């Protein structure tokens, strides 16, 4: 009789143990999204929002950090074109009697995944009579490719040589910044 009570007690304790202690269940692997894909989805949703800054503030702290990491510039790639002979575009210089050349420089700000965040394009144009530069000009264009990035325009430029010289050296600098919310201002400034 004692052994019967022991067995019943052991079974009761075992049943209670099974009821109280959670057992692992062989469930299908949950669908997870890689950080890059998740960040891209969130950024795309923010870009479609009527007020992206307000939508950003409504994200969880983890999602906000993911967006900041995705939109932060990690490196700049530079592509320098080869000078090419061109005709006087749109009759830019009325009295050009020589060969004209054009060269472009493209700087692209990229995030850690290599995704382009902004572009800064500088084009130099000059005409020469074979000995000296007759006419010279330059132009730049900044383009933002991701939400929250802003282009504040050219902040500096300098030219050495140019008209009347046999060389030209041109420097131009723009200003981009990541401006997530008005509360924190702009961060991650870049000056290509």
- Residue 140 scores a pLDDT above 90: yes
Share of the chain above pLDDT 90, in %: 43
Cβ contact 136:160 at 8 Å: no
- CA dihedral (69, 70, 72, 77) positive or negative: positive
Say if CB 148 and CB 174 are below 8 A apart: no
Sheet hosting strand 185-190, strand order edge to edge: 149-161, 168-181, 185-190
Please give the radius of gyration of the chain, using alpha carbons only, rounded to the nearest integer: 31
User: What mean pLDDT do residues 61-69 have?
Assistant: 90
At 13, the pLDDT band (50, 70, 90 cuts) reads: very low
Tokens standing for residue 191 = 């000056």
Mean pLDDT, rounded, for 148-160: 95
- Within the chain, residue ranges assigned H as helices are 2-20, 35-48, 52-57, 61-71
Given a cut of 90, whether residue 115 has pLDDT beyond it is yes
Contact assessment for residue 10 and residue 16, using Cβ atoms and an 8 Å cutoff: no
- Using one digit for the tens of pLDDT, what is the confidence trace for 72-85? 989 999 999 888 88
Q: What average pLDDT does this structure show over 97-125?
A: 92
| Domain range summary for the chain, segments of one domain joined by + | 32-71, 73-190
């Amino acid at each position: 009789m004692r052994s019967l009570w022991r067995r019943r007690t052991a079974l009761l304790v075992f049943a209670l143990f099974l009821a109280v202690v959670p057992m692992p269940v062989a469930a299908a692997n949950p669908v997870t999204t890689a950080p890059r894909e998740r960040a891209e989805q969130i950024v795309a949703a923010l870009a479609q929002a009527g007020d992206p800054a307000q939508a950003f503030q409504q994200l969880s702290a983890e999602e906000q950090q993911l967006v900041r990491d995705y939109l932060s510039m990690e490196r700049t790639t530079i592509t320098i074109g080869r000078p090419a002979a061109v005709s006087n575009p749109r009759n830019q210089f009325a009295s050009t009697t020589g060969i004209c050349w054009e060269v472009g420089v493209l700087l692209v700000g990229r995030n850690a995944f290599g995704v382009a965040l902004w572009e800064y394009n500088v084009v130099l144009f000059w005409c020469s009579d074979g000995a000296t530069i007759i006419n010279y000009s330059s132009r730049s264009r900044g383009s933002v490719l991701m939400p929250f990035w802003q282009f504040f325009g050219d902040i500096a430029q300098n030219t050495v040589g140019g008209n009347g010289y046999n060389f030209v050296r041109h420097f131009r600098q723009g200003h981009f910044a990541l401006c997530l919310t008005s509360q924190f201002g702009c961060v991650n400034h870049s000056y290509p």
